[in-house]
Structure 1
Amino acid sequence: MWGSGAGYGRGVVVAEVRGGECSMDEGERSRRAEAGRGAAEELLARQVSGVVLTWVDTGGITRAKAVPCGRLEHAAAWGVGMSPAFDFCMLDDSILKGPFSAGPVGDLRLHPDLDRLAVLAALPGWAWAPADRYDLDGRPHPRDGRGQARRAVERLGADGFTVRAAFEVEWSLSLGHGDEFVPACGGPAYGMTPFMEQADYLRDVLDALTATGVSVDQIHPEYAAGQFEVSVAATDPLAAADTFVLVRETIRAISHRHGMRASFAPMVTTDGVGNGAHVHLSLWRDGRNLMSGGDGGYGLTPTGESFAAGILSRLPALLAIGAPSAASYLRLIPFHWAGAFACWGWENREAALRFVPGASGDGARAANFEIKSFDATANPYLLMAALLAAGQTGLAEKAVLPAPVDINPAKLEPSRSVPALPSSLEEAVQALESDDALAEALGEPMITAITVVRRGEAALFDSCTNEEIVARTRWRH
């Protein structure tokens, strides 16, 4: 994977300010064109034919367009056209009407971020770059999730903070390419047997990720039959969201090459444990991990605690972004290690926020919070933006965490009970609409798109049985 070392994008934005927003000027377009020309020359030398440009829509679907390498220079400077209607697109590809939606009218430009350009080991002859979406006048599109994540990082940076983040990716592997789910291996959970049965496949996944520049921490069989998980190294939040997309599409491609099918859906069967997309976050300042070395519970600093408390208090609203599918709420139930209760605890895998202190002596590097309630139907960029906004609000409020929960919260005595998280998409949407901090951070156009799409999908599945919900969502993410 190319990063800052290649120097194609350098992460520099030259812009003129118009009406309070930034618009690309001629110098910025020239710089992008030069970067695209240099990247194309190297890609062609490596027998790469084209570059896939991806973005993730409001419904969590990764959408794509591609350009031949000979057009990368133009795409970098002037973008590739794409309808803004996909901001209001549901998982079944139907497009909703609503405020800020112009239906078939209008256009956006997809600009590849060449700092993240990667040659795809899983798709020989192809490279990949995540796209930022701009309006036709060169201004950042207000409903671009990737731009939202970048601005959230910048807001925290202005206060002197950085965040290290990573997604855990769980998926279910099915034999063949049919629509029914047929586990590609059996149990036991976390066992050597499923590892052995799919050893060649897992090796190819690992090799493809490594060759693409992804730093893999571990890969292993998970709890359910045919289920696996890969964990990657923590990085900055924008890069973590990019990596999530890259990991998922690499796994999907390798599965297809092996004659199998990968699902990242929250549920692939009604009686399973489901797939999550857990997010790990740690807050840093001046090179110090603020989740460790403090006087608070388990070594938390007051600042680290406030960041986590801001997230915990807004989890009901965050679910509308991080658990945005009707199927999400079939997974988000007690006794599934899915984080169905609004509480936190030391290494408590049933709490929505699991505090991970790291091994003894390693906390200064490794201590973090894992948010367990989210799944891969989320737009990872929007989710990162919302999490950082919630955490930053907690910092401003000097928020304090409630008492930690040291057992399964479903088994607490009534006097110690903690609230359950929303049990439906509509409940989560209502919580989001009531959260002023997230509304301010994401902006009215983005919040409106989220609520319109969520309510559209809730209505789409309103009369469906659980079996029908699972069947209709199994292969969409």
Structure 2
Amino acid sequence: MEQSSETSTGEAGLDAYALGGRERTRRAARAAVAARRLAGEGLVGVALTWVDVSGITRTKTVPVERLEHAAAWGVGMSPVFDVFLLDDSIVSGNHIGGPVGDLRLHPVLERLVPMAALPGWAHAPAHRYAQDGSPHPLDARALLRRETDRLAALGWSVKAAFEIEWAVSKGDGDAFVPACKGPAYGMTRVTELAGYLRDVLGALKETGVTVVQLHPEYAAGQYEVSVAAEDPLGAADTAVLVRETVRAMSMEHGLAASFSPKVEADSVGNGAHVHLSLWREDAADGPANAMAGGSGPYGTTAPGEAFAAGILRRLPALLAVGAPAVASYLRLVPSHWAGAFACWGLENREAALRFVTGAEGERATAANLEVKCLDGAANPYLLLAALLATGRDGLDTDLRLPEPVDVDPAGLPEEERTARGIAPLPSSLAEAVAAFEADTVLRDALGEAVTDTVAAVRRGEIALFDGATPEEIAAATRWRH
């Protein structure tokens, strides 16, 4: 984790990460060494990326020889990007909006890597600071760093990983034309695009991403890659890197990759499920997985159950950051393995929270919670910050999980669902935004500026698609994320 050498990470506010003179000098020295290495490898440019509130990865780039200056003093950018909609139109919030102001992008040098899929280019996620060196309140990476530190102060850490789904098109225009014809999960799909998938795996490996598996998915032309779990900041960085690698390699093969929640209105959409496990850092024999080895449901410990219960309790509000597009609610429907009901269960792919024990013999390391109701329109940093905050609230209040669900909730009579407290998740972005704005835990964790800006951007997208058909929504969203 990249952090200032001058401050304590245990502080609650973002001011704990402010830049000072010694920190700028340290970063410049490290960047100078990195720049010489990159230049020696023939690289000429560095893409500094951040993810905006609409979930789109934005960038400014610098020549390798300017990396040292960028590390110390940043690269200028407007804060107005925080209120861009997915079509690049701009709304205004109470805290962000308009042409006035400037921020500085500073590369996270610990995550600086050459991009195998973009020869000559390196990638680094960026932190965003004000001109005085204070963190920008809308910097989602800084928010996530703060949430990991808050858990660390309580003796906990989290391992996280995103599953990345995408659909591959061979069409020349904006229409989606599946690039393969094989059946869902079929080996035929691997055979049809074997060279492409080989190069995706090779580029990810060369870029330093540990791939756990890659397989064909359900929808036409759809694939999924799973990566190794890591700390939450690393997991969000990796999610961005995987998508940009897949996008670049797709273009190299004359294809196009869509990560949209709904590529086609009449087909299954792309999810971006998040896997989480809670670890006790001060355990006697080293870090211990709180999702295993306990006396709670399916072997959870009391803290592991409380962490999961905190997330479950606030899923309706979490959707405003985890399923943040109008198109998300074309995907989030019952009986499509999207997790459309606020419930949990052991290996239940229709529950919003799927508990995974792992194979007998490796449960101590493998047990985790999968949050299924999320998609690729989410900002991974903001989403993980929100998930950690709600999990931490579960720990603070010692929450317990309700009874698990072992069937498709949609198949239960409505009276039984009501009696068991199994509620449908919001069926529209407007419902999710209302729950988000009313949630005091998320408001306190993310801050007023984030809460207001997220709501303003979501309402802007709702207005953008007012009266649009599902087909029009899918088409307008298809190539944006």
* Deviation, structure 1 residue 101: 2.0
Aligned residue in 1 for 2:256: 261
- Which whole-Å CA distance do the structure 2 matches of 1:43 and 1:194 have between them? 37
* Deviation, structure 1 residue 178: 1.5
Which residue type is aligned with residue 26 of structure 1? Answer: G
Q: How many residues align?
A: 468
* Deviation, structure 1 residue 15: 5.2
* Deviation, structure 1 residue 68: 0.3
Matches within 5 A, 1:178-197: 178-197=173-192
Asked if the contact 2:14–2:137 (Cα under 8 Å) also holds between the matched residues in 1, the reply is: no
Aligned residue in 2 for 1:223: 218
- Which whole-Å CA distance do the structure 2 matches of 1:395 and 1:20 have between them? 22
Aligned residue in 2 for 1:7: none
Aligned residue in 2 for 1:100: 95
* Deviation, structure 1 residue 414: 3.3
Which residue type is aligned with residue 15 of structure 2? Answer: E
| 42, 50, 54: which one aligns with 2:49 | 54
- Which whole-Å CA distance do the structure 1 matches of 2:333 and 2:182 have between them? 22
Aligned residue in 2 for 1:446: 450
Q: Deviations over 1:105-129 (max 9, x none)?
A: 0000000000000100000000000
* Deviation, structure 1 residue 13: 3.1
* Deviation, structure 1 residue 187: 2.8
| 277, 284, 305: which one aligns with 1:282 | 277
| 14, 17, 20: which one aligns with 2:6 | 14
Aligned residue in 2 for 1:321: 321
SS at 2:26's partner residue?
helix
Asked if the contact 1:83–1:108 (Cα under 8 Å) also holds between the matched residues in 2, the reply is: yes
Aligned residue in 2 for 1:73: 68
Which residue type is aligned with residue 442 of structure 1? Answer: L
- Which whole-Å CA distance do the structure 1 matches of 2:465 and 2:139 have between them? 26
Q: Deviations over 1:263-313 (max 9, x none)?
A: 000011111110000000000003110001111111011110000000000
- Which whole-Å CA distance do the structure 1 matches of 2:380 and 2:441 have between them? 19
- Which whole-Å CA distance do the structure 2 matches of 1:419 and 1:143 have between them? 32
Matches within 5 A, 1:324-335: 324-335=324-335
- Which whole-Å CA distance do the structure 2 matches of 1:268 and 1:248 have between them? 16
Asked if the contact 1:174–1:260 (Cα under 8 Å) also holds between the matched residues in 2, the reply is: yes
SS at 2:423's partner residue?
coil
SS at 1:273's partner residue?
coil
- Which whole-Å CA distance do the structure 1 matches of 2:143 and 2:219 have between them? 35
* Deviation, structure 1 residue 224: 1.2
* Deviation, structure 1 residue 240: 0.2
- Which whole-Å CA distance do the structure 2 matches of 1:272 and 1:32 have between them? 47
Aligned residue in 2 for 1:414: 414
SS at 1:52's partner residue?
strand
SS at 2:212's partner residue?
strand
- Which whole-Å CA distance do the structure 2 matches of 1:238 and 1:412 have between them? 39
SS at 1:163's partner residue?
strand
User: What percentage of residue pairs aligned between the two structures are identical?
Assistant: 62
Greater than 6 Å deviation, 4+ residue runs? none
Which 5+ residue runs of structure 1 have no aligned equivalent?
5-9
- Which whole-Å CA distance do the structure 2 matches of 1:20 and 1:71 have between them? 27
Query: Cα gap change, 1:338/1:20 in structure 2, threshold over 3 Å: closer, same or farther?
Result: closer
- Which whole-Å CA distance do the structure 2 matches of 1:153 and 1:425 have between them? 28
* Deviation, structure 1 residue 93: 0.6
- Which whole-Å CA distance do the structure 2 matches of 1:429 and 1:459 have between them? 13
- Which whole-Å CA distance do the structure 2 matches of 1:29 and 1:406 have between them? 54
SS at 1:24's partner residue?
coil
SS at 2:46's partner residue?
strand
Aligned residue in 1 for 2:480: 476
* Deviation, structure 1 residue 450: 0.2
Asked if the contact 1:15–1:28 (Cα under 8 Å) also holds between the matched residues in 2, the reply is: no
Aligned residue in 1 for 2:86: 91
Asked if the contact 1:290–1:300 (Cα under 8 Å) also holds between the matched residues in 2, the reply is: yes
Asked if the contact 1:298–1:357 (Cα under 8 Å) also holds between the matched residues in 2, the reply is: yes
Q: Deviations over 1:198-225 (max 9, x none)?
A: 0000000000000000000000100111
Aligned residue in 1 for 2:194: 199
Aligned residue in 1 for 2:369: 369
Query: Cα gap change, 1:20/1:167 in structure 2, threshold over 3 Å: closer, same or farther?
Result: closer
Which residue type is aligned with residue 279 of structure 2? Answer: W
Aligned residue in 1 for 2:31: 36
Task: Pick which of 92-101 and 309-318 moved more.
Answer: 92-101
Asked if the contact 1:319–1:428 (Cα under 8 Å) also holds between the matched residues in 2, the reply is: yes
Task: Pick which of 222-231 and 19-28 moved more.
Answer: 19-28
- Which whole-Å CA distance do the structure 1 matches of 2:230 and 2:15 have between them? 28
- Which whole-Å CA distance do the structure 2 matches of 1:20 and 1:404 have between them? 38
* Deviation, structure 1 residue 186: 1.6
Matches within 5 A, 1:365-444: 365-417=365-417, 418-444=422-448
- Which whole-Å CA distance do the structure 2 matches of 1:267 and 1:28 have between them? 44
Aligned residue in 2 for 1:456: 460
Query: Cα gap change, 1:288/1:15 in structure 2, threshold over 3 Å: closer, same or farther?
Result: closer
* Pairing 1:157–2:152 present: yes
Q: Deviations over 1:48-83 (max 9, x none)?
A: 001000000011000001000110000000000010
* Deviation, structure 1 residue 462: 1.3
Which residue type is aligned with residue 288 of structure 2? Answer: R
Asked if the contact 1:187–1:224 (Cα under 8 Å) also holds between the matched residues in 2, the reply is: no
Query: Cα gap change, 1:45/1:430 in structure 2, threshold over 3 Å: closer, same or farther?
Result: same
| 102, 107, 111: which one aligns with 2:106 | 111
- Which whole-Å CA distance do the structure 2 matches of 1:235 and 1:177 have between them? 37
- Which whole-Å CA distance do the structure 1 matches of 2:132 and 2:459 have between them? 31
Matches within 5 A, 1:130-149: 130-149=125-144
* Deviation, structure 1 residue 20: 8.6
Which 5+ residue runs of structure 2 have no aligned equivalent?
none
Asked if the contact 2:14–2:142 (Cα under 8 Å) also holds between the matched residues in 1, the reply is: no
SS at 1:178's partner residue?
coil
Which residue type is aligned with residue 125 of structure 1? Answer: G
- Which whole-Å CA distance do the structure 2 matches of 1:415 and 1:359 have between them? 35
Aligned residue in 2 for 1:309: 309
* Deviation, structure 1 residue 171: 0.1
Asked if the contact 1:15–1:24 (Cα under 8 Å) also holds between the matched residues in 2, the reply is: no
Matches within 5 A, 1:235-250: 235-250=230-245
Which residue type is aligned with residue 453 of structure 2? Answer: A
* Deviation, structure 1 residue 416: 2.7
Aligned residue in 2 for 1:352: 352
SS at 1:21's partner residue?
helix
- Which whole-Å CA distance do the structure 2 matches of 1:332 and 1:375 have between them? 9
Asked if the contact 1:176–1:259 (Cα under 8 Å) also holds between the matched residues in 2, the reply is: no
- Which whole-Å CA distance do the structure 2 matches of 1:220 and 1:20 have between them? 40
TM-score scaled by length of structure 1: 0.96
